[in-house]
Amino acid sequence: MSHRKKLPIGIQTFAEIRQEGHYYVDKTPHVLRLIDEGKYYFLSRPRRFGKSLLLDTIAELFEGRRELFQGLHAERHWDWSQTYPVIRISFSDGVLRSQQALEQKIRELLRAQQERHDIECRNTSISGWLAELIQELHEQSGQRVVVLIDEYDKPILDNITEPEIARQMRDGLRDLYSVLKGQDAHIKFALLTGVSKFSKVSLFSGLNNLRDITVSAAYSAICGYTDEDVDQVFAPELPGLDRDEIRRWYNGYNWTGTSVYNPFDLLLLFQERQFKPYWFETGTPTFLVELLMQRQTFTPELGQWVTMDSLLSTFDVDEISSEALLFQSGYLTIGSQFKMGARTEYTLKYPNQEVEASLNGVLLQALTARSTETARQSGRLYRLLLANDFAGLQALFTAFFASIPNDWYRSNKIASYEGYYASVFYSHFAALGLDIRLEDVTNQGRIDMTVLFNGNVYLFEFKVVELLPEGRALQQIKDRGYADKYRARDETIHLIGVEFSKERRSVVGFEVETLAAGACEERHPGLPLVGRSGKVSFL
């Protein structure tokens, strides 16, 4: 086994990684393919996914620093006799809050590039300055120019809750980016990266020749680490860590090709040796959660959202689709796709346990406005499942829903009582990071949910009734044969029907029927003996 190297946590400089003995996953095969296939590109990826490092790698390649690429794919496949001038613009630093601040920032960036290349530009307008810079560099070097723009959308996203300011940022950036199309004769290669994909009409109306590789299968792994990367490059870090848990916690981001891990998560895991939501904790999705609540989002459907390709790119200051926001920010990823002539239908899913558990934990707090209490509830829920204490489970949810103020869910932005109760119920389990399978999700608030945990299979059917328990929830589980697909697991299966009263605003029905594995019988704590098809009712 190879020796351990330094972990490049937070390092976005290719030269530092290569010169100081850090791990590096070779992305140069993707880079060379990009250069070979085209000229103008756009790529969006969630935060902390290695976009800045990718751009820095491309810059070093074009500037001919061969020594940095020793042993990499590019060393043997790149023409090192040619070098190209590179213009690098990044909006990653600082937060801009006005049109004037944006203009000042752009001028500072252009001035830095001008001084870096020892060129004196005469134009004073931003568009004229950039155009002259490109032209002068081409003339000075005899080679066309490479333009790399990082975090192209950050000034807009930093002001997304202030639409008027965000529009000013968008318009100012559009004036800058539109220069590139007119300089085609002087440009060798151009790549813009960011978190979001704003519609071409709003931001790229003057640059309609960009190839968007965000959901290109060939470039799904251009940022991030693949399973193969983890096993080969990071092999020295794996001893002592459960490989399957690494996959479950952090793998799963997909853009129609190879699935990848977020680099930030894995590097922190290898450093700390503990499974934690490292990536999720670096950014609080306050705006996202507020938007989901305002739009009456039914939380159980998030993990299996179906959307069209057009909606994933419907993102602008005045039109932000929930699908696009969740997808582009990294809280949902592509699970599958279905081609329909010229259109593509995508099914979105949570990428991994980290995101599903963490996002549902935040959503649960928003649904109940009781962060401290929900944290305690989660601990109790986990312990009750460990003990198969169904009486305690019923008491937990009965007490929890009874404690919610009457006017809270009336003012909460979920479309119906059914949707509200189902969202809270589901998010309680999802926030624990349990293995959850949803059989049936509807906007009427019904969820058929399977939880696989601790050698048990829990099949939940959730219904809202008018006043008194009706017993239909448990019966539906049996009528639809939900247990059949899990019998081969040879684990104890618990059928659990849960009914909430719309009038009482509480749990009124909680029926449990256990199908014990093999011929064994099990006794629930404090409850009668339950055999292969015993039944316990709580009314």
**Residue ranges in 273-416 assigned as alpha helix (H):** 286-294, 309-312, 322-328, 353-368, 371-387, 390-402, 406-411
| CA 93 – CA 429 distance, rounded (Å) | 38
Mean pLDDT of 4-19: 97
How far apart are the two ends of the chain, measured CA to CA in Å? 60
Task: Cite the beta strand spans of 360-517 per DSSP E.
Answer: 435-441, 447-453, 456-465, 492-501, 506-515
Q: Does residue 124 lie within any of the structural domains?
A: yes
State which of 187, 203, 219 marks the end of a domain: 219
Q: Does residue 136 lie within any of the structural domains?
A: yes
State which of 191, 219, 247 marks the end of a domain: 219
pLDDT value of position 216 = 95
Digit-coded pLDDT (tens) for 219-228: 999 999 999 9
Q: Does residue 204 lie within any of the structural domains?
A: yes
Q: Does residue 532 lie within any of the structural domains?
A: yes
**Domain extent for 68:** 26-219
What is the CA 351 to chain-centroid distance, rounded?
A: 6
Beta bridge partners of 456: 453, 492
Mean residue pLDDT of the chain comes to 88
What is the number of structural domains in the chain? 2
Mean pLDDT of 85-97: 95
Instruction: Determine contact, residues 524/391, Cβ cutoff 8 Å.
Output: yes
Mean pLDDT of 506-532: 61
pLDDT value of position 529 = 32
371-387 helix and 417-430 helix, angle to the nearest 10 degrees: 70
Instruction: Spell out a b/e string for 109-121, using b for 16 or more CB atoms within 10 Å of the CB, else e.
Output: bbeebbeebebeb
Q: Does residue 174 lie within any of the structural domains?
A: yes
Q: Does residue 227 lie within any of the structural domains?
A: no
- Residues in Cβ contact with 382 at an 8 Å cutoff, skipping those fewer than 6 apart: 432
Distances from the Cα of 351 to the Cα of 70, 247, 407, 533, angstroms = 34, 10, 35, 36
Banded model confidence at residue 538, pLDDT cuts 50, 70, 90:
very low
Banded model confidence at residue 533, pLDDT cuts 50, 70, 90:
very low
State which of 219, 253, 273 marks the end of a domain: 219
pLDDT value of position 398 = 86
| CA 259 – CA 335 distance, rounded (Å) | 10
Q: Is the pLDDT of residue 409 over 80?
A: no
Q: State the CB neighbour count (10 A cutoff) for residue 6.
A: 12
Q: Does residue 123 lie within any of the structural domains?
A: yes
Digit-coded pLDDT (tens) for 458-489: 999 988 887 777 788 899 888 888 899 899 99
Distances from the Cα of 364 to the Cα of 19, 89, 233, 367, 421, angstroms = 46, 40, 38, 5, 11
Which residue carries 């001028």 as its tokens? 107
Distances from the Cα of 56 to the Cα of 90, 132, 351, angstroms = 11, 23, 27
Q: Is the pLDDT of residue 4 over 90?
A: yes
Between 536 and 354, the more confident residue is 354
CATH of the domain at 166: 3.40.50.300
Residue of 148, 216, 245 lying closest to 187 (CA atoms): 148
| CA 362 – CA 167 distance, rounded (Å) | 29
Banded model confidence at residue 75, pLDDT cuts 50, 70, 90:
very high
Two tokens, residue 404: 């919610």
Secondary structure class of 84 (helix, strand, coil): coil
Q: Does residue 299 lie within any of the structural domains?
A: no
What does the DSSP 8-state code read for residue 3? Answer: P
